[in-house]
Amino acid sequence: MSSFLPRSEGPRPKLFMSHYSFDSHKQPHTRLIDTHPFNHTLQVFLPTHCSPAIHSTLVSRLLKNTFYYHAKVPLSLLLTPEFMQHARNGMIALSVDGGIDTHNIVCLDGNGSLVLALTKDTYEQLGLDGVPSKFSAKRQRYVVKIDLRAPAMVPKKPGFERVKWCFENTLVDKFSMLFASVDAEGNSLPIEFPSEISARKLTYDVDVTTLHDIVIPDTTRIRTIRHSNNSNNNNNSNVLQWRSNVSQLHEWIGMVAVGSPRVLLHDRIDPYLCVYNPPAQKKQTNAPPSQPSSSTGSLLRISGFLPAQAIQVIFQSLRNVLDDSASNVQWAHCCVWGFEDSPISWRDKEHQFLLSGENMYGFFLWSRHLVLSKKENQDRGVYVMLETVAALDEHQ
């Protein structure tokens, strides 16, 4: 083999699929949402028209009580008593200028930790202890973590004064940052910035798109992972089939999200150009094969600096819509996108970009009023959880 060819495959992004129930005491969906602090877009797909009542249920509270800030600040601001208190109470902040692989990026993770992802030159001048990035083989990047809740982080104590001196003398650059501080209910808390800092108070953008004449596939086939008593081979085959079905639906949701015409009923793309076909629609019992039928769907997209608490509020509102028999919504898909250039993805999980910095998660969930066949999982709290993780991400 030629010496210049790679000796092994490089890291690849991964899609993790899980099958859970809301009725389980473990509540993995809550843990997944709570530990993913930096989110910029939430998207909900409904296989029906988004009525004013549904729209109000999903976003009215969010728009009434939530906001965030954008400001260009020195890191020394984060050590003032006001901002230290916000940090201890769960404030999140993220610098949004530059790329995580090439620039200095900083964040407050919502758990009281200030994370600095620094270039080698900046780190060597800083004067604070850190560790080499797990994804930088030649030690070209370093990570410094400062626990603002630590007993040493009190004014006049050596640890605090050391960090303050470094922020005022070595790392004096101003960072363009987003800030959000919320209470446990997801309501935003005001942040007071010094008069010399120009901070903009921002609200979320909400966009609702009605999708006509689309082919909506059958999602109930992923509610159940069929198990066989005959052999392990059959069980493995069933699991592989379930994964294939989830992958197809995940791809279909992606097509919908980007507005692809491939999901339209009357799409007639040349197979030479595109071989994609939507997953199968639900087949009626004992009914002969039929041509796909068109349906109407809705895409609700909320964009901004979304803390985990705000995601929880929307997610619970979506569950309420599904559990309301009057809404007549059979299922839904919820997807959340994280910032691709954040120093961490999930809490304490280092993250970099490489070819793509995706860190996102989503759920397929169903109404508790769904009519189930005998072969289907009778647990009405079933949901499918998806996690898309970039190649350079500790969450893998």
How does 87-114 read in b/e, with b if 16+ C-beta sit within 10 Å?
Answer: beebbbbbbbeeebbeebbbbbbbbbbb
Rounded to whole angstroms, the Cα distance separating 391 from 396 reads: 8
Per-residue pLDDT at 59: 84
Phi, psi of 121 (to 5 degrees): -60, -45
Residues 6+ apart with CB under 8 A from 6: none
Measured at the alpha carbon of residue 72, what is the angle toward residues 68 and 77, in degrees to the nearest 5? Answer: 90
DSSP label at residue 182: B
Per-residue pLDDT of the chain (396 residues; tens, 9 = 90+): 455 655 566 678 889 999 999 988 889 999 999 999 999 999 999 999 888 888 888 887 777 778 999 999 999 999 999 999 999 999 999 999 888 888 999 999 999 999 999 999 999 999 999 999 988 778 889 999 999 999 999 999 999 999 999 999 999 999 999 999 988 777 899 999 999 999 999 999 999 999 999 999 999 889 888 766 565 666 688 889 999 999 999 999 999 999 989 888 888 888 888 888 888 887 655 445 566 777 889 999 999 999 999 999 999 999 999 998 788 899 999 999 999 999 999 988 888 887 788 899 999 999 988 777 777 777 778 999 999 998 888 887
Residues 6+ apart with CB under 8 A from 41: 301, 302, 303, 306, 336, 337
pTM, 2 dp: 0.90
Residues 368, 385 contacting (CB under 8 angstroms):
no
3-state secondary structure of 32: helix
Chain centre distance of CA 61: 20
Rounded to whole angstroms, the Cα distance separating 203 from 227 reads: 47
Phi, psi of 223 (to 5 degrees): -70, -30
